[in-house]
Amino acid sequence: MTQRVALITGGAKGIGRGIALDLATQNWKIAFCYRTSEDAAKTTAQAIAERGGQALPIQCDVSDPDAAKQMATQVETEWGHIDALINGAGPYHRINLFDETIEGWNEMFDGNLHPIFYLAQAVAPGMKGRKTGRIINFSMANADQMISQPDVTAHYIAKAGILILTRTLAKLLAPHGITVNAVSPGFIDSGSAPPVELAGMTKRIPAGYIGTVDDTVAAVRYLLSDEARYVNGANIQISGGWGI
């Protein structure tokens, strides 16, 4: 069988890194992008190789549509195809809506929502031609609730938009054997949030504890598997009951 190829955005650290290392144990070829974390990317690439996978780290700002599409082309040129696109990049910052800048507002959409559109357009033709493919987009656990978020407004709107885009892509690509699903983490100990902030949220999580990267990786593993071939347009919350 042809070795499977995954393209992961934001794959140098956190949840993206966890997904990459898990796929490495299953003998995938893993291309992943990073924007500024060159040292972390090198460490992740080495860890992928140690687990039996092949790594292709690419420095890329996926908020740039041309750069995002060029990255997908580079992976397809080097490895022949892309079986799975995992959109894990998702910058955010906390600031009251009335203190937000125009640049900060746009950054949340440019970094979270728009790259999924760019990359879906880039990988869809190849997946359609092979009549198979998986796309997984990362949202957040309460994005479907449409509640007020004064300190992460643009980020929250972008994450809600990801759910709409996921369902739209799923409907368009299902006839071609391609599934498109969302994974929506709650509070996960991935290194992106301060430990003090995570600890303060524990009492608000019905399960009573903070999730791990492995909890999220398990959901991605399922969505990439043959067992999930009929799961399309779904949103899996990884939150211990928070945000529902």
12 in any annotated domain: yes
CATH number of the domain at 193, please. 3.40.50.720
In the annotation, is 156 catalytic? Answer: yes
Which residue type is seen at 151? D
243 in any annotated domain: no
104 in any annotated domain: yes
pLDDT digits (tens, 9 = 90+) for 49-73: 999 999 999 999 999 999 999 999 9
Q: Which of 156, 209, 222, 230 is catalytic?
A: 156
244 in any annotated domain: no
> Which pLDDT does position 193 carry in this prediction?
74
> Which pLDDT does position 27 carry in this prediction?
94
Written as six digits, the tokens of 108 are 């949340």
224 in any annotated domain: yes
- Classified as helix, coil or strand, 153 is helix
Which residue type is seen at 74? Q
Domain with 45, as residue range(s), is 5-238
> Which pLDDT does position 206 carry in this prediction?
97
The rounded distance, in Å, linking the Cα atoms of 31 and 118 is 17
167 in any annotated domain: yes
Written as six digits, the tokens of 52 are 């039996």
67 in any annotated domain: yes
pLDDT digits (tens, 9 = 90+) for 151-198: 999 999 999 999 999 999 999 999 999 999 999 999 999 987 777 778
Is 234:241 a contact under the CB 8 Å cutoff? no
Report the domain count for the chain. 1
| % of the chain at pLDDT higher than 70 | 100
> Which pLDDT does position 65 carry in this prediction?
98
> Which pLDDT does position 140 carry in this prediction?
96
Phi, psi of 223 (to 5 degrees): -65, -25
59 in any annotated domain: yes
**pTM to 2 decimals?**
0.96
The rounded distance, in Å, linking the Cα atoms of 81 and 3 is 10
pLDDT digits (tens, 9 = 90+) for 104-133: 999 999 999 999 999 999 999 999 999 999
- The chain-wide mean pLDDT, for the chain, equals 96
Q: How far is CA 116 from CA 20, 112, 161, in A?
A: 18, 8, 10
- Classified as helix, coil or strand, 229 is coil
Strand ranges across the sheet with 235-238:
54-59, 29-34, 5-9, 84-87, 133-138, 178-185, 235-238
